Amino acid sequence: MKIRVGQGYDVHRWVEGRPCILGGVEIPSEKGPLGHSDADVVCHVLCDALLGAANMRNIGYHFSDKDPMWKGVASTLLLKKVMEMIREAGWELANADVTVILDQPKLNPIIPAIKDNLALVMGVEVDQISVKATTSEGLGFVGRAEGISAMAVALIQKE
């Protein structure tokens, strides 16, 4: 059996009046992340972690922010396409671990819904996806409520 690990990291600026979508779930918030797509950092880091593990470059290579086709797209669609790509190459997800870094809004009550949605989109079991949130303790761009960041690792395997 072959196994590979990949990592993903993403940052988006907060803006007023934009929805906050994380893992395909809309989170109640006065601000949302700015981006070419829906700026879902959870889906973006998972895409990059999976693509990196499969040695398939990154999300920007496959879904360029210069391409109007991807303008405003739901990042769950990108994640679904990435899962199709790695499966076509013979890989399956063993597990993924996501950390979202933000001071507000608080995510703990919503994490089960995010995990359920990610498992559905990715075609995996809920226990293969870990999602957690942490704060920046008021430091940096996250602490100043200027943006949100996330990171992920994904372990993929093939026979």
Show contacts of 123-132: CB within 8 Å, 24+ apart. 123/83, 124/93, 128/93, 128/94, 128/95, 128/96, 129/95, 129/96, 129/98, 130/95, 130/96, 130/97, 130/98, 131/23, 131/42, 131/98, 131/100, 132/97, 132/98, 132/99, 132/100
Annotated binding site: 10-12, 36-37, 44, 58-60, 63-67, 134-137, 141, 144
Annotated binding site for a divalent metal cation: 10, 12, 44
**31 near 15, Cβ under 8 Å?**
yes
